[in-house]
Amino acid sequence: MKIKLVSSITPTEGEQETYEMWLQGTFIEKSGTHYLRYEEVQDDQTIRTTVKLTNEQAFIMRNGGINMRLPLNTSQQERGRYESKFGLIPLMTETNQLSYERLETGGQFRTEYELIIDGSSVGNYTLEINYTEV
């Protein structure tokens, strides 16, 4: 799969930053659930990412240079965690929007969520993933 990933971060204090990446990955359908897997390199460390995709909920799991479990659910706040060489940070997500559409030769996923650490918002995040067969 050819994957276009666009991530926008609007911190509580600061200006919006947008990142765009083009990656190669795989799409898996298992028991009616869709998974997208890809690898990226940040600061010379490989990070393996799996995104579980549905219309109501999503789950982003990253392993490698960083470890993260980020659940997204439009009907309730969810607990997640972010782990790096500096330690473990518990976090919460408040998902404002989530959509997923499976297309004939790929799909589109989009979510907007607020990231909360220690009871305080650290910013609003938008993630868009478009993937197509190569």
Place of tokens 């190669």: 24
CA-based nearest residue to 109, from 92, 78, 131, 80: 131
CB 111 within 8 A of CB 95: yes
* Number of other residues whose CB lies within 10 A of the CB of residue 43: 7
- The amino acid that residue 100 corresponds to is Y
Please give the radius of gyration of the chain, using alpha carbons only, rounded to the nearest integer: 15
* pTM of the predicted model as reported, rounded to 2 decimal places: 0.90
Q: Digits of tens for pLDDT over the chain (134 positions)? A: 999 999 999 999 889 999 999 999 999 999 888 999 999 888 888 999 999 998 789 999 999 988 999 999 999 999 999 998 888 999 999 999 999 999 989 999 999 999 999 999 999 999 999 999 98
* Dist CA 62 CA 127 (whole Å): 15
pLDDT, tens digit (0-9, with 9 covering 90-100), for 39-62:
988 888 899 999 999 878 999 999
